[in-house]
Amino acid sequence: MDTPDFIDLFFYPTILLTMKKHIAFLSLLLMLMGCPIGTPQEGDNGDETPPPGDETPPPGDETPPPGDETPPPGDSVKIASFNIQIFGQSKAGKPEVMDILAQIIRRYDIVAIQEIRDIAETAIIVLKNKVNEDGSSYAVVTGPRVGRTTSKEQYAYMYDTETIDAPTGAYTYDDDGDGNGVNDIDDSIHPDDLFEREPYVAHFKVKWDAFDFVLINIHTKPDDAEAEIGYLPDVISDALTRLGETDVICLGDFNADGSYFDEDTYLSVFPANEYYWLIPNSADTTLAASDNTYDRIATTLSMDEDYADTWGIFRFDQEYDFSSPTLDPGDVSDHYPVWAEFYIYVDTD
């Protein structure tokens, strides 16, 4: 049954007035209790929106530290060896030569350098600065001047700090056998002075990943190459013990060919069940008319997982312009750089 219209007109205003009184009373009660009412205004975040700044985690909680967020440019690194041939003040003072040397070094993540002959020990710094002129970030570490005569040499490692951490545990191999723990570099009268230029050892690690390895830099005396190459497994064994790293790369100017060394016998020194001999006997690593593989890279067998099965000889005389009458490839070096490539994500040791 429908309610007559006059009843609606009588009761509805009364009901509305009563509801307004209740609402006013409840509003007053909520205000006394400190509860906000109404629509959030400007500056009021409401109950569901956190205050400014709370929605973002504190710096460092989610975002990696500056520098760590940039991944390496590839999945491998290139490690090279380069005998720069009598590198000292004279060569460092030749702009055309230094420009080519800098371009060569930038091709690799690490370069093991041999035959630095510089009493002042500053030429290698000049070279490093030249490499970095284009905005690169290479650093260099050097060993002491070594040799039995007044014509001493230094080894160096020049490495790209964008991909390689600073080395740890760098040392010169102690071969004099005097038992005092000091490398008496000039101790040529000692019967256990095995190397003309004792190898320089350093432990490196690639940024962003666990791939680490030991480098052993060597330049044998040509006339003693057979004997000195035969001692290299002892240097590797010493590095394994001393640095606790099984991935070892021995590289440099071995003089492992020609009249100095019978390259067909290398397996007697570096047996295939223990080592990889990466630069094959068929390679020619010098600019001379004769075909000789003096420069080598050998690794421990544990690097099987890391080796990218890629090596090379960089023939800079075919890569750069030597048309200038004041520049000859032999001014740069009589050796080519040799290199090998290694994966950075698969190291498990």
* Overall domain count for the chain: 1
Examine the pLDDT at 172 and tell me if it is beyond 70: yes
- For residue range 49-76, list pLDDT tens digits in order: 334 433 433 333 333 333 334 444 579 9
Query: Does residue 114 fall inside a structural domain?
Result: yes
Residue 230, pLDDT above cutoff 90 = yes
Q: Is residue 208 part of a domain?
A: yes
Can you tell me the mean pLDDT for 272-296?
97
pLDDT above 50: residue 87: yes
Mean predicted confidence (pLDDT) in 146-152? 91
| pLDDT surpassing 60 at residue 10 | no
pLDDT above 90 covers a percentage of the chain that reads 69
Does residue 239 fall inside a structural domain? yes
Look at residue 90 and give its three-state secondary structure.
helix
Q: What gap in Å lies between CA 22 and CA 319, rounded to an integer?
A: 93
pLDDT interval class at 209 (50, 70, 90): confident
CA distances from 214 to 122, 167, 247 (A): 26, 9, 6
Does residue 19 fall inside a structural domain?
Answer: no
Give pLDDT, residue 84: 98
- Comparing CA positions, the residue from 154, 153, 146, 149 lying closest to residue 174 is 146
Catalytic residue numbers read 153, 219
In a domain, 335, yes or no: yes
Residue-number span of the structural domain to which 196 is assigned: 76-343
Query: Residue type at 223?
Result: D
Angle at 320 between CA 88 and CA 91, to 5 degrees: 10
Burial of 86 (0-12, 13-18, 19+ CB in 10 A): middle
What is the domain-level CATH number for residue 263? 3.60.10.10
Is 60 contained in some domain?
no
Q: CA 259 to CA 130: how far, in whole Å?
A: 37
Averaged confidence pLDDT in the chain: 83
pTM: 0.78
Instruction: Give the tens place of pLDDT for each residue, 304-331.
Output: 999 999 999 999 999 999 999 999 999 9
Concatenating the DSSP letter of every residue in 27-42 gives HHHHHHTT---SS--T
- Name the most confidently modeled range: 3-7, 69-73, 97-101: 97-101
Q: What pLDDT does 61 receive?
A: 35
Residue 20 maps to a domain? no
Is 206 contained in some domain? yes
Cα 220 to chain centroid, rounded: 26
Residue 214 has pLDDT above 70, yes or no: yes
